[in-house]
Structures are given as C-alpha cells and as structure tokens.
C-alpha cells in the first residue's frame, strides 16, 4: 500500500505562524535536494529543500520581506506572480527584465507590499527552467475582520499542480535549444509534489486530503506546471468557483476546472457525498497536434470515518482535446462586480494594440532540421538583454533596448490560417512605451504559424480585464461592439484560444518595466515575450522608487 502523504489543513482563523502584524519575513534558501518522485533521484533545485516550495501567508496590505539566498550553481531570481508591485518593480523578479540574477553565493531581499490585493497567487523562479521545481503558493487573506464575499469555509487547502522530469530540466531545454526543436515532455504531472501511485515505481504515494462530512472547504488550486494547461476534477463532487488569479468572480458550479500555467483558481468544495474516498485528478488540455505529457496525476480526498480498506471512487479526466469543456469553463468566468468589489473597466482606450502571437521557423545551419523553432509577437522574437531592462530604463543606459515595439503586425495577413511558408521572424529587444495612467487595449491574436495553439499570456505589474474573445481573426468593427465592459473577468494570465483572440484592457498606473509573455515556458524560451515601459507620473507615489542597495548586479 502506498505511503499516503498526510496534509496539514489551514485554518482561516489560525494560520501556522501567522501573528497579526503587517510585516512578514521569510527566508528562502535555494539548495539542491534529491527528490525522488518517479524512483529516479536526480538532485533538483529547491527552496528550503522542499518541492513544492514553502507557502507564503500574508494579509492584504502587508509588507513582505523575503530574503533569497542562492546556495546552488545556477543563477536564480524569484517572481511573485500576480502581485502588482506598485512602485517596487525591483522586486518583481524576472531575470534581465527587472533585476540581474542572484548569482551563486549571493542574496537579495525582495521587499514589497501587497497593496489592495488578496487571494491566491504563486511565486516561482523566473530564470531558465528552474520554476519546474522552484515554486509555491502565496495566500493573501483579506484584511482582519473583512469576510470573503462567500460563506466562510470550514478550512482551506492548497493544491499545487506541477510537472516532473526524470532528467535535469536544464538539460532538457538546453538540448532543445541546441537542436532547434521542441523539448522532451515531462514524465509526470504532480499534485502537491506527487504524481500519485504509479505502476513503475513501487511505494510511490499520493497526496491525500482529509475532510469532514458536511463541511465546506476552500481549495486554492494553482497551476505551476511549465508547459501544460491542466484540468482538475474530484470524483463526484461539484466545485463552486469563487475566485481566479486573486480576483473574485460570480460563483458558478462545475465538475472540472481548467487552469493554465500561472493561473490560480479558488473553489468551494462541500463534502456532501457518502463517507468514503474519492479520486482527485489533474490531466492536460491540448487541442493542437503537439506531443505532450498525457499522464494523469492523481490524489485522494477522504472523509473522516472512511475505513482504511475503502477503495477510492474513480473519475475519468477529460480527454486532452476536450475543447468544449475548456471553452465552457472560460465562458463561465465573470467578475463579481459587487459594491465592495466593483469592476472598473477602462471605457476609453489610448493605445489600441494588436499583437499577433505564435511560432515561427528561422534558418539554422547547426540545428537538427536546418531550422530553429522560434516564437514571436508581431514578428519580433524577443532577445534577452544581458543587463536588466529596468536598470537600463531607470539609469538611462543606452544600447540595451529600443522603445519601438510594433503596436500592430508589420504586415497584416490571415493570422489564423495555417501557414507553412515564410515563417521567419526578426529578433530584437524592443519595448513599448506608454505614459503613466494611459489606458491600453491589447488584442492578443493567435496565429496559425506551423499550427494554431493555445497561449496563456501573462502580464506583470497589472491585472487586466478580458473584455472580449473569439475564434478566427479579430475584426475591430464587429468584435469591439460585443465587448463586455460591465463584468469581464479580471486576471493576470489569460489563455488565447487556439486559432482565436482575446482582448484585454488595463490602466498603466504602475511605473516601471513590465514583462508580457507566454506562460508556457517553452514558448517563452523561444521568444514569445516583450515588455512595456510605463513612465513616471507627476504626482506623489507615481514614480518608480530607486533600487534597493542589495539589488543584484550583472
Ligand atoms: C543525491 O543522491 C546521490 C546518489 O544517491 C548522491 O551521490 C548525491 O550526493 C545526492 N545529492 C544531494 C544534493 O543530496
Ligand atoms: C523596504 O522598502 C521600504 C521602502 O519601500 C523601506 O522603507 C524599507 O527600509 C525596506 N526594508 C528593507 C528591510 O529593506
Ligand atoms: C530526450 O528524449 C530523447 C528520446 O527519448 C532522449 O534520447 C534524450 O536523452 C532526452 N533528453 C534529455 C535531456 O533527457
Ligand atoms: C499518451 O501519449 C503516448 C505517447 O505519445 C501515446 O502512446 C498514448 O497513446 C497516449 N495516451 C492517451 C490516452 O492519449
Ligand atoms: C479527440 O481525440 C480522439 C483521439 O484521441 C478523437 O477520437 C476525437 O475525435 C478527438 N475529439 C475532438 C473533439 O477532436
Ligand atoms: C517577419 O520578418 C521576416 C524577416 O524580415 C520576414 O521574412 C517575414 O516575412 C516577416 N513575417 C511576417 C508575417 O511579417
Ligand atoms: C487617470 O486618467 C483618468 C482618466 O483620464 C483620470 O480620471 C484620472 O484622474 C487619472 N489618474 C491619475 C492618477 O492621473
Ligand atoms: C503615498 O504613499 C504613502 C506610503 O505608501 C502613503 O502613506 C501616502 O498616503 C501616499 N500618498 C498618496 C497621495 O497617495
Ligand atoms: C549569472 O549571471 C551573470 C550576470 O548576468 C552572468 O555573468 C553569468 O554568466 C551567469 N552565470 C551562469 C552560470 O549562467
Ligand atoms: Cu505560448
């Protein structure tokens, strides 16, 4: 019998180590650890020796001081995904965008305040492919005395979904980049670090959550996988979605969640079925003809009073190409838009941008096929600089970037038609500049280069409203008329559907340099990324603060 992993439940009123203070300190020691998950014990990079890493707990408006000490032979940087970092761009984390990496033997204190945000976030490494094992949850509770806008759950639990490679992930991506081809897919998916019992690895347990009959639990589900959108299901149970990406939504019931890498989903689960054991599954969604890791990770939910010998009630995960299930979930999301949590969608737009996002192929004599697979936005494959863009912006260092990122594709074409000729791209470190408080609309238009594919696009520094989406090519006349400006979902990572588009709007009220990129790590490696420069405003608190003294140097 598998060695079931016991779990600590969180009590909303009494979080472990959580005292009522508005300053919270954490120490992250980045260390190598042998973590056998599939009966192969390659050392992996971890925080504090744990996989997933430690969870961070805070309350809205708290200040966090997280000291990261690098004890490994890789450069490291950590991103606090979804935290806006108002005025503190130096603490955002993406390497060579807002900071130089923390080099071996060095440390850096991330110092930021969670202004006006509460909900489930994640932290993860933002350099190389290290986020495969360097990630964890950030749980930000409402301010003391402020209730959730839904019935108070009995307890809360974090579910972190991930991917596991038997090989060293850096070997996997380096090999792919050398050959110019797609990297090897993972060998398993994981739920809180465990794939569940697998036949090839005796003694491998799975994550198990105990619940009390009749009680309601708040599940904070995070997709920390590198490259795969994941369905999440619990046998027989309905999940009531109440929040995504740390923004409250109009509650709705579903039996399946769909979460892209970088996204979080909070759902209420009521233990209202007969006492027993129920299977929990996480399985990939991919509706393009692409090689993926199609293995299902499993965990269990057991009701108090279940006999040890009781077999789990099983459930079938959706098929990898269950587009209808995925679309239904995306269509169900609406901002809560209540008096306490109003939805303030920008009505006017200063910058109308159309970003064609997808893959490309560039000639490469040393590559396996004579071509290198790349990715681009508006035909720009982003070249990472060797010093941080925020530094270059703040100190006016010339020659690091240009601010001429194209606001439209250089030559319009039938974006979503499958395109198999003339797929070359240009390369550059080009940024798009906006003034403080500008209203920006970006239509993210998927392309059919090679073939259409989903892209979960993440914007740093802001939440945005997803005011419209559709299949095919965006039609500015017709599609703008059907935008939802009343209660569109607010989030920080949005999936552009395969062969379609999504329109997002945000107010550029956070000065700094803010990364926008695909959260499929393979696409980011290939260049599907760019950054916005947001200039300082004239008023108080409308300027980027100077860098902290311990900011790493390149
Ligand atoms: C991991 O395990 C291998 C073999 O068991 C051992 O040689 C190595 O020192 C271990 N590494 C770490 C970081 O614990
Ligand atoms: C954190 O940043 C604030 C300014 O935003 C500063 O006053 C404070 O001293 C910093 N704390 C540490 C430990 O660096
Ligand atoms: C990738 O997969 C191929 C084929 O299975 C294998 O030969 C190669 O060693 C793998 N690469 C890494 C880095 O694991
Ligand atoms: C999963 O992928 C493997 C390898 O590509 C394939 O052989 C297998 O049939 C797939 N399984 C399912 C259920 O799609
Ligand atoms: C999904 O894939 C299966 C084969 O794995 C195929 O039989 C089925 O038609 C596909 N469904 C859709 C909607 O494409
Ligand atoms: C992208 O740029 C390359 C190189 O200049 C060019 O060959 C290609 O036609 C461009 N593609 C598109 C879609 O604009
Ligand atoms: C931002 O712009 C809006 C709309 O133009 C304006 O109402 C608001 O006062 C501006 N805010 C700041 C801080 O400049
Ligand atoms: C500026 O920020 C400080 C500290 O965060 C705050 O106390 C002050 O009220 C802010 N001022 C304005 C005008 O928002
Ligand atoms: C770590 O980062 C520094 C600064 O960018 C760079 O010079 C160095 O080559 C990097 N080290 C590794 C091992 O990548
Ligand atoms: Cu992508």
Distance 111 CA to ligand 2 centre (A): 6
Would you say residue 253 has pLDDT above 60?
A: yes
Enumerate the domain spans of the chain.
Answer: 8-141, 155-331, 351-534
Distance 348 CA to ligand 7 centre (A): 11
Q: In Å, what is the CA distance from 23 to each residue of 19, 77, 93, 109, 111? A: 10, 22, 20, 13, 10
Determine the residue of 425, 428, 445, 448 to mutate for testing ligand 6's pocket, defined as the one with the most ligand atoms within 8 A of the Cβ atom: 425
Q: Which ligand is nearest to the CA of 73?
A: 9
CATH of domain 155-331: 2.60.40.420
Distance 41 CA to ligand 1 centre (A): 8
Task: Determine the average pLDDT of the residues in 520-538.
Answer: 98
Which residues on neighbouring strands pair with residue 256, listed in sequence order? 233
Q: Which ligand is nearest to the CA of 44?
A: 1
Would you say residue 554 has pLDDT above 90?
A: yes
Helix (H) or strand (E) segment spanning residue 239? strand 239-244
Would you say residue 18 has pLDDT above 80?
A: no
CATH domain 8-141 topology:
Immunoglobulin-like (2.60.40)
CATH of domain 351-534: 2.60.40.420
Give the tens place of pLDDT for each residue, 293-323: 999 999 999 999 999 899 999 999 999 999 9
- Ligand 1 binding pocket includes 338 (Cβ within 6 Å): no
pLDDT of residue 21: 65
Task: Determine the average pLDDT of the residues in 471-494.
Answer: 98
Of 179, 547, 535, 554, the C-alpha closest to 385 is: 554
- Matching fold, domains 155-331 and 351-534: yes
Determine the residue of 356, 426, 527 to mutate for testing ligand 6's pocket, defined as the one with the most ligand atoms within 8 A of the Cβ atom: 426
Q: In Å, what is the CA distance from 39 to each residue of 35, 165, 166, 205, 268? A: 9, 11, 9, 11, 34
Distance 130 CA to ligand 9 centre (A): 14
Q: Please name the residues in contact with 224: beta carbons below 8 A apart, sequence gap of 6 or more.
A: 52, 122, 124, 131, 135, 160, 161, 162, 261
d(CA 390, CA 547): 10
- Ligand 1 binding pocket includes 370 (Cβ within 6 Å): no
Three-class DSSP category at 547: coil
Q: Which ligand is nearest to the CA of 183?
A: 3
Calculate what percentage of the chain has a pLDDT beyond 70. 96
Which of the pair, 14 or 385, is modelled with greater confidence?
385
- Ligand 1 binding pocket includes 34 (Cβ within 6 Å): yes
């Amino acid at each position: 019998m598998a060695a079931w992993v016991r779990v600590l439940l969180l009590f909303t009123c009494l979080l472990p180590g959580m005292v009522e203070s508005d300053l919270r300190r954490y120490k992250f020691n980045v260390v190598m650890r042998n973590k056998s998950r599939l009966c192969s014990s390659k050392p992996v990079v971890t925080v504090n020796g744990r996989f997933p890493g430690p969870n961070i707990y805070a309350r809205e408006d708290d200040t966090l001081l997280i000291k990261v000490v690098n004890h490994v032979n890789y450069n490291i940087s950590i991103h606090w995904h979804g935290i806006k970092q108002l005025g503190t761009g130096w603490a955002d984390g993406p390497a060579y965008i807002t900071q130089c990496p923390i080099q071996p033997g060095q440390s850096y204190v991330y110092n930021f305040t969670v202004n006006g945000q509460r909900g489930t976030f994640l932290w993860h490494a933002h350099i190389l492919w290290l986020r495969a094992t360097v990630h964890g949850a950030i749980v930000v509770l409402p301010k003391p005395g402020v209730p959730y806008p839904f019935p108070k759950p009995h307890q809360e639990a974090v579910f972190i979904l991930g991917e596991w490679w038997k090989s060293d992930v850096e070997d996997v991506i380096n090999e792919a980049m050398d050959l110019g081809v797609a990297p090897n897919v993972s060998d398993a998916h994981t739920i809180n670090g465990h794939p569940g019992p697998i036949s090839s690895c005796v003694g491998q347990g799975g994550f198990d959550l105990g619940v009390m009959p009749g009680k309601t639990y708040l599940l904070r589900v995070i997709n920390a996988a590198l490259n795969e959108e994941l369905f999440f299901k619990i046998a027989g149970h309905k999940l009531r979605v109440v929040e995504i990406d740390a923004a409250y939504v109009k509650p709705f019931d579903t039996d399946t969640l769909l979460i892209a890498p970088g996204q979080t989903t909070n759902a209420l689960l009521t233990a209202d079925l007969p006492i027993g054991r129920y299977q929990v599954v996480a399985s990939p969604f991919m509706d393009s003809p692409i090689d993926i890791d199609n293995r299902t990770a499993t965990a269990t939910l057991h009701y108090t009073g279940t006999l040890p010998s009781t077999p789990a009630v099983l459930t079938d995960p959706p098929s990898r190409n269950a587009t209808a299930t995925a679309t239904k979930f995306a269509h169900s999301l609406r901002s809560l838009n209540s008096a306490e949590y109003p939805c303030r969608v920008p009505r006017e737009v200063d910058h109308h941008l159309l970003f064609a996002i997808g893959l490309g192929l560039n000639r490469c004599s040393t590559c396996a096929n004579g071509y290198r697979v790349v990715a681009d936005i508006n035909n720009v494959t982003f070249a990472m600089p060797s010093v941080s863009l925020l530094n270059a912006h703040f100190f006016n260092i010339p020659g690091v970037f240009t601010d001429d990122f194209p606001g439209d594709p250089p030559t319009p074409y039938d974006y979503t038609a499958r395109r198999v000729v003339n797929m070359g791209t240009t390369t550059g470190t080009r940024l798009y500049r906006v003034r403080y408080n500008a209203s920006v609309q970006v239509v993210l238009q998927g392309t059919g280069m090679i073939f259409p594919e989903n892209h979960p696009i993440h914007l740093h520094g802001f939440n945005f409203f997803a005011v419209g989406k559709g299949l095919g090519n965006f039609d500015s006349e017709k599609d703008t008329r059907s935008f939802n400006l009343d209660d569109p979902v607010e989030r920080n990572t949005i999936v552009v559907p395969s062969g379609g588009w999504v329109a997002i709007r945000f107010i550029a009220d956070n000065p700094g340099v803010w990364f926008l990129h695909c959260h499929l790590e393979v696409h980011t490696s290939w260049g599907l990324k760019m950054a916005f420069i947001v200039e300082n405003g004239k008023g108080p608190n409308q300027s980027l603060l100077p860098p902290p003294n311990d900011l790493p140097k390149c």
